[in-house]
Structure 1
Amino acid sequence: MENKNICFVIHSLQVGGMERVMSEIISYFAKTNAYNIHLILYGIKREVFYEIPDDVIIHKPTFEFDNTKRLLSTLKTLRFLRNRIKEIDPISVLSFGERWNNLVLLSLLATSIPVYVSDRAQPDKPLGFKDDFLRRKLYPRAKGIIAQTSQAKSFYESYLANHPKIRVIGNPINQQEIMETPKEKIVLTVGRLIETKHHDELIKLFVKINKLDWKLIIVGGDALNQHNKQKLEKLVKSLNAQDRVVLAGNQQDVASYYKRSAIFAFTSSSEGFPNVVGEALSFGLPVVSFDCVAGPSDMIQEGENGYLIKLFDYQEFALKLSLLMDDTFLREKMAGFAPISIRKFEKNQIAKEYFKFITNR
């Protein structure tokens, strides 16, 4: 008997957290040999960065998306999605991305094809009048909604008037083999240099703590045309902290920074699911993080593997960070529990949860 089909739909598989998660889920499904796996790439850029198994059937539009004729290109994309997915005739479709999910659901109106959707950003973040309107009208038609965090699930239950099938499935976090690497007195943070990460405030509170034997290292580069690296460099210079605050820029080997560091600090105010928090915990770093929407509260157990701080309470953030910097025993205790606490996000376990949810198996 011929295997049935499952269809994964995403606008891009270039470098990015959403794209990495999709590629890992696809790889797991392909290894089961239970279904024929189809992948539809329909965005402006259709190159594949992440490794996809050879037996996955990839579909792309034959036309280019012309931004100068956006409406026409969007209509052509809708027609392509509808026709191709109907040809594949899948038992389930999995789509990623807020605005993109609207497009997929819209393309399959008046069909009986089951569509599962997952937003990959802060759940309550406004998308604009048009996309918010479409999400409110179209998401109730989805067969299932995958929320990355418990906060996201609560938002969808309220926003969509108790949709009957919402499941919390976090992101896969690579589990690390903890080596006896000597820890240095480094507070680490990893993330793009964008305003919602509040690196400027982290620098100021770190310098104010004034522990001269510690360093703050910020890994990440400019993004979203905000040009914050230059602003942060000026701030560090104005605080006379060039010897204690390092702007490391983008790094290929981020793991080496996790291995050397003793504490992870996270001052972001807007997330979908902050992978870097999970990565830090997997490397055995206690985490001090704002309790932002959404994600940190699903990974950090207060006083066990880190601290959750009320959003923008920089005084409390500095107190907890200073406590960890001063107390070696506390740091080591939390460091020992941190990798254990994140095992529920092991890659195959997360992919298995996706498998069960969208196949009803």
Structure 2
Amino acid sequence: MNKVCLVIHSLGIGGMERVMSQLADNFSSREKTIVDLILIGRKREIAYSLSSSIKIHRPPFQFDDNWRTIDTLRTIWFLRQKVKEIAPDTVLSFGEYWNNLVLLSLLGLSYPLFISDRSEPGKDLGKFQNFLRNSLYPKAAGYIAQTTHAKKACISNGWNSNIKVIGNPIMDIQPKSKVEKDNIVLSVGRLIKTKHFDQLIKMFVKLDIPGWKLVIVGGDAKKLSLSEDLKNLVNELGAESSVFLEGEQKEIDVYYQKSKIFAFTSSSEGFPNVIGEALSAGLPVVSYDCVAGPSDLIEDGENGYLVPLFDQETFKQKLKLLMEYEELRNIMGLKSAKYIKVYSKKNVADQFYKFITGCA
């Protein structure tokens, strides 16, 4: 019997939360595997459907920012006691700051603890958290890196020597013959500055290729309102008839299925799920070669193009090439779906399970 304990701040809407929920469900469906899930954040919410066999644990108090130090200590004590009560064979924790808290909570206990950072590799956490990470990460039983860049960051910082690169599970979006494709360059992501949608809009408008549209799907991030800035930019460029800001959309499959090209201008990533989704839908991708993720998903010249960061001239050239040559788009599109199969939910869960338990 394998007793697996998963620790995360919450299972609200978000990338790492979605991955953890998928892993929890997959692990719980395996024979002779018991899954306990501990939520230690402020909200401790669950936005995903989970198997009824998963045992869920939360601290018996509401975290109060007015008593931050005391409630953090209470959380550490709760987590330590709960893990001792569960007595798992292995523990998996997600999230940089949270990994520090979990490692600190379980210090001196014998349960193997595996950790995974879920944002930009080597992200600066601040002086105190950086000190904790440098001191505590080597004590983990193993480190799961989302990309090869993340693995390099782990090695160069001396965080851990037992490292496994495992990407995120990618939503399978099959191209549908019933959905008619349009001349659409698609981009998807939260409207934050590091996505550089303003650059993408300007590049697309400068290309000025008749019959094509640029469609951007994504809503404003918390405390930001870049959608208004982007709308104003579109109006200033006189591009209302060719550039469309769709906002946040729950049903995103149809956008991938109706489009012909995917464009990605982000300068910083942990693991770009949207590139994987675009490839799954059979779209060729033009992307900045940012840290980290695009180079793990795109084989330059095969299923898309990797462009040096902020090289707008090259980006425009590659985008223009795909917009003008249907045969090239089709060839790359066929390769796209094949490249992404390694990131199926089952394959990713299998890799996680084998790494943290030592069994297939």
Check whether TM > 0.5.
yes
1:249 maps to what in 2?
247
After TM superposition, give the deviation of residue 177 of structure 1 in Å: 3.1
2:339 maps to what in 1?
341
1:253-303: CA deviation from partner (whole Å, max 9, x where unpaired): 111100000000000001000000000000011000011110010000111
2:326 maps to what in 1?
328
- CA distance in 1 between counterparts of 2:187 and 2:165 reads 26
2:165 maps to what in 1?
168
1:108 maps to what in 2?
106
2:224 maps to what in 1?
226
- CA distance in 1 between counterparts of 2:305 and 2:344 reads 22
- In structure 2, the residue corresponding to 1:14 is in which secondary structure? coil
Check the 8 A contact 1:175/1:339 in 2, yes or no: no
After TM superposition, give the deviation of residue 75 of structure 1 in Å: 0.5
AA at the equivalent of 2:64: D
Residue 176 (structure 2) aligned to one of 173, 176, 179: 179
Pairs within 5 Å for 1:137-286: 137-160=135-158, 163-180=160-177, 181-286=179-284
After TM superposition, give the deviation of residue 109 of structure 1 in Å: 0.8
- CA distance in 2 between counterparts of 1:196 and 1:260 reads 26
- In structure 1, the residue corresponding to 2:122 is in which secondary structure? coil
* Normalised TM-score (structure 1): 0.98
After TM superposition, give the deviation of residue 226 of structure 1 in Å: 2.1
AA at the equivalent of 2:28: A
Pairs within 5 Å for 1:98-137: 98-137=96-135
- In structure 2, the residue corresponding to 1:155 is in which secondary structure? helix
- In structure 1, the residue corresponding to 2:29 is in which secondary structure? helix
1:296-324: CA deviation from partner (whole Å, max 9, x where unpaired): 10000111110001111111111100110
After TM superposition, give the deviation of residue 4 of structure 1 in Å: 4.0
Check the 8 A contact 2:173/2:253 in 1, yes or no: no
Check the 8 A contact 1:121/1:273 in 2, yes or no: yes
1:299 matches 2:333: no
* Same amino acid, percent of matched pairs: 52
AA at the equivalent of 2:297: M
1:53 maps to what in 2?
51
Check the 8 A contact 1:136/1:159 in 2, yes or no: yes
Q: How many residues align?
A: 358
Structure 1 residue ranges, 4+ long, deviating more than 3 angstroms after superposition? none
AA at the equivalent of 2:207: I
Residue 93 (structure 1) aligned to one of 91, 94, 102: 91
Quote the RMSD (CA, aligned, Å).
Answer: 0.9
AA at the equivalent of 2:163: I
Segments of 5+ residues of structure 2 without an aligned counterpart are none
Segments of 5+ residues of structure 1 without an aligned counterpart are none
* Normalised TM-score (structure 2): 0.98
1:287 maps to what in 2?
285
AA at the equivalent of 1:175: D
2:39 maps to what in 1?
41
Residue 77 (structure 1) aligned to one of 62, 75, 78: 75
1:100-144: CA deviation from partner (whole Å, max 9, x where unpaired): 000000001111111000000001221111111111100000000
- CA distance in 1 between counterparts of 2:295 and 2:190 reads 21
1:188-222: CA deviation from partner (whole Å, max 9, x where unpaired): 00000000000001000000001121000000011
Check the 8 A contact 1:212/1:244 in 2, yes or no: no
After TM superposition, give the deviation of residue 43 of structure 1 in Å: 0.7
2:311 maps to what in 1?
313
